[in-house]
C-alpha cells in the first residue's frame, strides 16, 4: 500500500489531497475549515480531513508531495526583480519575507505541521506538471492531449503535451511574464474586481458588452499568433515590478483609471469584459487547434485557472477539433494538491493506470460527510425543530413540493465538493421557471451584485433537449457553458429590448425573462451547465427526475451554499448558521428538513448584520 499526500499552499486556495493506491480518497480546500475565503495558509485542517477519511495517521504516509518547486519560483521572483530593479523593490520586499520564512523552509514547515512521527520523504513536483496530472490521470481517457493555462507557476503560464497510460509529457510551454491568466486578471483588476476571484464575475459581465476593445487589446496588449503562441507587451503592465496589475499606459489606452470596487459598473466595463473574453476564446481556440495538430489526439484534458473559463471551454468543445474534453473541476491551484499526489503515484512510482468510463474524480465529492445521526445530534443540541424524512422517496417528494412553491432550499448532502463550484452537495436550489427566483436568491440569500444569472443543474440524459450540448457530451463539473435551445426561448418586446440595451441597472436587464427557465438564462441565452447523473450523485439525480415528472422541467437552479464573501459551507453548523442568517426558506440537512416558518426565534437584524459582516466582500 502507498498513501500519498498532496499539498498546495502559500499562494491562494491552499488544499490537501490523499491518494491511496491510486484511489482519490479525499481532497479539500483549507478555506472550508478555517472559514477564510481563499485561505493561503498551510492546509493543516484539510490534511486532517484527508487522513481521517482514510483512517490513517500522519506516520502512515509514504510520500508527501508539494505541488510546485519553491526554489524555482523564488528564482523567478528574484530574476524578475533584477530585470526591473530598482523599480520592483516594493513588491519584491513584500514577497521575500514570506518566501524566506515559509516557502524555502517548506520541508520543515510540513514536518512541523504533521508531527515528528512522519518519516515520509517530501517530493516537489513542477506547478504545471501538477495541473497536467490533475487533468489527465483522473480523466476517463486512455490517451489525450493535455493543456494547462493559468496565471503563473514557477515560470510556465501555458503548457501542453500528451498523456498516455500512466505517463504525462509536457513538450511545449509559454513562460512568465507572458500569460493568458495574468492578462485576464489585469482586466479583472482594471474593471474593479478582485484578482484571483473576480475573474468569474468578469466572465459573467461579458454578455452585457460588445467586444469593441478586442482589436485594441490584440494590437497593443497581446500579440496572438496563428499557432496559439502569444506575447504580452509588458510596457502596459505592472505585475512584474509593482503591487498592481496595470500601469498608467494601460489606463491611458482605455481612457480612464481603474474602476473603484463597488462603484457603478459602466457600459465600458461590460465592453471590456466582452473584449477580453473574446480574446481569451480566440486564444484558447488557436491553442486548441495547435495542440490537436501537434499531438494528433482526439481528446483533450485541461487544468489551470484559465480552464475555469467555462464560456471558452464550451466554444472549444463545440467549435474546436477535439471529440471530447475533460476538465479538472479543481482547475485552480487547489487542484495542484491532487495532481501532485497523482503524479507521484503514476509517474514517479510507475503504477499502472486503468481509466474508467465515468472518470476517477468521484463527482469531486471528496470532502467531509456527516451522517444523519451527526446531523440530528447537532439539531437537537441547538433545539431546532425539524422533520426527518421516512425514506428516500419521502425526502424527495417533500423537497419537490417545496420547490414547486418557489421555496429557496439549502441542500446539504453527502461529501463536500473539491474545487470552487458547488455541485449539489453544498448547494442552494430553486425552481428555474420562476421569474422572480433570480432576484429573490440574489437579494435574500447572496446579498451580492445580481447581474449574474444562476447556473442550472439538469439531468444528464435530458440536457440536450434544453441546451445546445451534444447528447454524447456531459458537463458534470459545471465547466461548460451552452446556449438555451431556441424552442425554450421567449420573445422579447420592444420595450424590454430597450431595457436590455440601455438600462444602467443590470439587475433590470437580467430580470427580463429570456426563456421558460429565466433564473438560469443569461442575457445572451447562455447557461453554465452542470449535468447530473446517477453514477455521481444518485440522490440529486432522483430529485431532478421527480421535479421533472411533476413539472416537465428536469432542471433546478443551483448556487453555492454561502453568502457573499463566505467560503462554501462545510459542516451542518455552517449550513444552519447560513440558513438563519439569510432568508432561505428551507434547509435540508441529509434527511432532516427544516422550515424557516418553524424557526421560533427569528434572527434579529443586529445578529444577522454581525454574521454577514465577518466575511470580506469578494
| CB-nearer residue toward Fe ion: 199 or 333 | 333
Task: Tell me the torsion sign for CA atoms 183, 152, 295, 475.
Answer: negative
The nearer residue to Fe ion, 157 or 361, going by C-beta atoms, is: 157
Structure-block grid coordinates of residue 105: 523552509
Cα dist from 538 to 140, 228, 535, 589, whole Å: 20, 41, 6, 16
Candidates 1-9, 104-112, 143-151, 462-470; binding stretch for Fe ion (CB under 5 A): 143-151
Q: Considering the complex, what minimum distance in angstroms separates the CB of residue 220 from Fe ion? A: 26
Binding segment (CB under 5 A) for Fe ion, from list 190-198, 326-334, 430-438, 476-484 = 326-334
Q: Which residues sit opposite 351 in a β-bridge?
A: none
**Whether 147 contacts 300, CB under 8 Å:** yes
Q: How far is the CB of 254 from Fe ion (least distance, A)?
A: 27
For Fe ion, the closer CB: 334 or 375: 334
Number of residues that bind Fe ion (CB under 5 A): 2
2 Cβ neighbours under 8 A, 6+ residues apart: 20, 21, 62, 63, 345, 349
By CB under 5 A, tell whether 129 contacts Fe ion.
no
* CB of 395 vs Fe ion, minimal distance in Å: 39
Q: Which is nearer to Fe ion, 15 or 395 (CB)?
A: 15
Window of 142-150, 359-367, 395-403, 572-580 that interacts with Fe ion by CB under 5 A? 142-150
What is the spatial distance between Cα 95 and Cα 89, in angstroms, rounded to a whole number? 10
Minimum distance from residue 153 beta carbon to Fe ion (Å): 5
Would you call 49 exposed, middle or buried from its count of C-beta atoms within 10 A (0-12, 13-18, 19+)?
buried
CB of 130 to Fe ion, least distance (A): 8
Rounded Cα distance between 404 and 408, Å, is: 10
Q: Which stretch binds Fe ion (CB under 5 A): 69-77, 225-233, 331-339, 432-440?
A: 331-339
Candidate ranges 73-81, 150-158, 538-546, 572-580; the one touching Fe ion (CB under 5 A): 150-158
Write down the residue that cell numbers 500522519 correspond to. 58
**With respect to Fe ion, which residue has the nearer C-beta, 303 or 441?**
303
- Kindly state the smallest distance separating residue 329's Cβ from Fe ion, in Å: 15
Residue facing Fe ion at closest CB distance: 150
Contacts to Fe ion from residues 232-271, by CB under 5 A: none
3-state secondary structure 345-390: HHHHCCCCCCCCCCCCCHHHECCCCCCHHHHHHHHHHCCCCCEECC
Q: Which residues of 576-591 are buried (b: 16+ CB within 10 A; e: fewer)?
A: bbbbbbbebbbbbbbb
Largest CA distance in the chain: 71
CB of 4 to Fe ion, least distance (A): 20
* Torsion angle (degrees, nearest 10) of CA 254, 260, 265, 271: 20
Q: Which stretch binds Fe ion (CB under 5 A): 147-155, 199-207, 245-253, 319-327?
A: 147-155
Q: Which is nearer to Fe ion, 150 or 462 (CB)?
A: 150
Closest CA to 120 of 56, 165, 173, 54: 56
Which is nearer to Fe ion, 181 or 430 (by Cβ)? 181
Q: Which of 254, 280, 282 minimizes the C-alpha distance to 268? A: 254
Q: How far is the CB of 150 from Fe ion (least distance, A)?
A: 4
Exposed / middle / buried, residue 497 (Cβ in 10 Å: 0-12, 13-18, 19+)? exposed
Specify the stretch interacting with Fe ion by CB under 5 A; choose among 25-33, 248-256, 325-333, 609-617: 325-333
Minimum distance from residue 340 beta carbon to Fe ion (Å) = 12
Closest CA to 282 of 202, 211, 337: 211
Instruction: Tell me which stretch binds Fe ion (CB under 5 A): 14-22, 52-60, 91-99, 329-337.
Output: 329-337
Tell the smallest beta-carbon distance from residue 287 to Fe ion (Å): 16
Cβ nearer to Fe ion, comparing 271 with 333: 333
Nearer Cβ to Fe ion (419/468): 419
In the three-class reduction of DSSP (H, G, I as helix; E, B as strand; rest coil), residue 456 is classed as: strand
- Copy the grid coordinates of residue 165: 497510460
What phi, psi does 455 have (nearest 5°)? -100, 145
Q: How far is the CB of 148 from Fe ion (least distance, A)?
A: 8
Q: How many whole angstroms separate alpha carbon 337 and alpha carbon 340?
A: 5
Check binding of 154 to Fe ion (CB under 5 A): no
Provide, rounded to whole angstroms, the least separation between the CB of residue 152 and Fe ion: 7
For the chain, the residue count is: 618
Considering beta carbons, is residue 30 or 333 the nearer one to Fe ion? 333
Secondary structure in 3-state letters for 474-505: CCCCCCEEEEECHHHECCCCHHHHHHHHHCCC
Taking a C-beta distance cutoff of 8 angstroms, is the pair 554, 548 a contact? Answer: yes
Tell the smallest beta-carbon distance from residue 310 to Fe ion (Å): 17
Q: Which is nearer to Fe ion, 182 or 316 (CB)?
A: 182
Instruction: Name the minimum Å distance from CB 420 to Fe ion.
Output: 13
Are 99 and 74 in contact by the 8 Å Cβ rule? The answer is yes
Q: Which residues contact 467 (CB under 8 A, 6 or more apart)?
A: 456, 458, 482, 483, 484, 485, 527, 529
β-bridge partners, 528: 481
Q: Which is nearer to Fe ion, 68 or 590 (CB)?
A: 68
> Which residues pair with residue 556 across a beta bridge?
457
Closer residue to Fe ion (CB): 238 or 328: 328
Residues forming beta bridges with residue 5, ordered by sequence position: 18, 64
Among 68, 281, 333, 474, binds Fe ion (CB under 5 A): 333
Q: Is 150 in the site for Fe ion (CB under 5 A)?
A: yes
Q: Which is nearer to Fe ion, 53 or 313 (CB)?
A: 313
Q: Are 180 and 158 in contact (CB under 8 A)?
A: yes
User: Among residues 129 and 591, whose Cβ is nearest to Fe ion?
Assistant: 129
The minimum distance between CB 337 and Fe ion, in angstroms, equals 11
Q: Is 303 in contact with 327 (CB distance < 8 Å)? A: yes
Residues of the shown chain interacting with Fe ion in the complex, contacts defined by CB under 5 A: 150, 333
Amino acid at each position: 500500500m502507498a498513501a500519498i499526500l498532496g499539498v498546495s499552499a502559500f499562494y491562494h486556495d491552499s488544499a490537501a489531497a490523499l491518494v491511496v493506491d491510486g484511489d482519490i480518497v479525499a481532497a479539500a480546500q483549507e478555506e472550508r475549515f478555517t472559514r477564510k475565503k481563499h485561505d493561503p495558509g498551510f492546509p493543516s485542517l484539510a490534511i486532517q480531513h484527508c487522513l481521517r477519511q482514510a483512517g490513517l495517521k500522519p506516520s502512515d504516509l509514504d510520500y508527501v508531495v508539494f505541488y510546485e518547486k519553491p526554489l524555482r519560483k523564488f528564482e523567478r521572483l528574484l530574476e524578475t526583480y533584477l530585470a526591473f530593479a530598482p523599480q520592483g523593490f516594493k513588491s519584491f520586499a513584500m514577497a521575500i519575507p514570506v518566501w524566506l520564512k515559509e516557502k524555502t523552509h517548506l520541508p520543515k514547515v510540513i514536518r512541523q505541521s504533521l508531527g515528528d512521527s512522519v518519516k515520509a520523504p517530501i517530493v516537489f513536483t513542477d506547478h504545471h506538471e501538477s495541473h497536467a496530472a490533475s487533468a489527465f490521470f483522473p480523466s476517463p481517457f486512455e490517451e489525450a492531449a493535455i493543456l494547462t493555462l493559468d496565471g503563473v507557476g514557477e515560470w510556465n503560464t501555458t503548457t501542453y503535451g500528451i498523456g498516455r497510460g500512466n505517463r504525462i509529457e509536457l513538450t511545449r510551454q509559454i513562460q512568465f511574464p507572458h500569460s493568458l491568466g495574468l492578462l485576464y486578471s489585469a482586466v479583472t483588476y482594471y474593471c474593479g474586481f478582485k484578482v484571483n476571484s473576480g475573474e468569474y464575475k468578469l466572465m459573467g459581465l461579458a454578455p452585457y458588452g460588445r467586444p469593441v476593445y478586442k482589436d485594441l487589446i490584440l494590437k497593443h496588449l497581446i500579440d496572438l499568433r496563428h499557432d496559439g503562441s502569444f506575447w504580452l507587451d509588458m510596457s502596459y503592465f505592472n505585475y512584474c515590478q509593482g503591487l498592481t496589475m496595470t500601469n498608467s499606459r494601460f489606463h491611458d489606452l482605455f481612457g480612464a483609471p481603474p474602476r473603484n470596487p463597488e462603484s457603478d459598473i459602466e457600459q465600458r466595463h461590460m465592453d471590456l469584459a466582452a473584449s477580453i473574453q473574446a480574446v481569451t476564446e480566440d486564444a484558447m481556440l488557436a491553442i486548441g487547434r495547435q495542440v490537436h495538430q501537434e499531438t494528433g489526439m482526439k481528446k483533450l484534458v485541461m487544468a489551470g485557472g484559465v480552464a475555469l473559463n467555462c464560456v471558452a471551454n464550451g466554444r472549444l468543445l463545440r467549435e474546436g477539433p477535439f471529440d471530447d474534453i475533460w476538465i479538472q473541476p479543481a482547475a485552480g491551484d487547489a487542484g495542484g494538491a491532487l495532481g501532485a499526489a497523482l503524479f507521484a503515484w503514476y509517474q514517479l512510482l510507475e503504477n499502472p493506470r486503468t481509466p474508467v468510463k465515468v472518470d476517477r474524480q468521484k463527482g469531486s465529492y471528496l470532502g467531509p460527510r456527516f451522517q444523519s445521526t451527526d446531523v440530528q445530534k447537532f439539531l437537537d443540541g441547538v433545539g431546532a425543530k425539524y422533520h426527518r424524512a421516512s425514506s428516500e422517496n419521502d425526502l424527495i417528494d417533500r423537497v419537490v413540493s417545496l420547490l414547486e412553491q418557489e421555496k429557496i432550499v439549502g441542500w446539504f448532502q453527502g461529501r463536500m465538493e473539491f474545487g470552487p463550484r458547488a455541485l449539489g452537495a453544498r448547494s442552494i436550489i430553486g425552481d428555474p421557471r420562476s421569474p422572480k427566483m433570480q432576484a429573490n436568491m440574489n437579494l435574500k440569500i447572496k446579498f451580492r451584485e445580481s447581474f449574474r444569472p444562476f447556473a442550472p443543474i439538469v439531468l444528464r440524459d435530458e440536457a440536450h433537449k434544453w441546451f445546445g450540448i451534444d447528447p454524447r457530451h456531459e458537463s458534470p463539473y459545471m465547466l461548460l457553458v451552452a446556449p438555451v435551445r431556441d424552442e425554450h426561448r421567449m420573445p422579447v418586446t420592444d420595450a424590454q429590448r430597450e431595457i436590455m440595451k440601455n438600462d444602467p441597472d443590470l439587475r433590470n436587464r437580467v430580470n427580463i425573462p429570456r426563456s421558460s427557465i429565466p433564473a438560469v438564462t443569461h442575457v445572451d441565452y447562455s447557461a453554465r451547465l452542470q449535468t447530473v447523473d446517477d453514477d455521481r450523485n444518485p440522490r440529486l439525480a432522483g430529485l431532478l427526475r421527480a421535479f421533472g415528472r411533476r413539472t416537465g422541467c428536469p432542471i433546478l437552479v443551483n448556487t453555492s451554499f454561502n453568502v457573499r464573501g463566505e467560503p462554501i459551507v462545510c459542516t451542518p453548523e455552517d449550513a444552519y448558521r447560513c440558513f438563519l442568517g439569510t432568508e432561505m426558506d428551507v434547509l435540508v440537512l441529509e434527511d432532516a428538513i427544516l422550515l424557516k416558518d418553524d424557526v421560533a426565534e427569528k434572527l434579529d437584524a443586529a445578529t444577522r448584520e454581525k454574521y454577514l459582516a465577518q466575511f470580506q466582500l469578494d
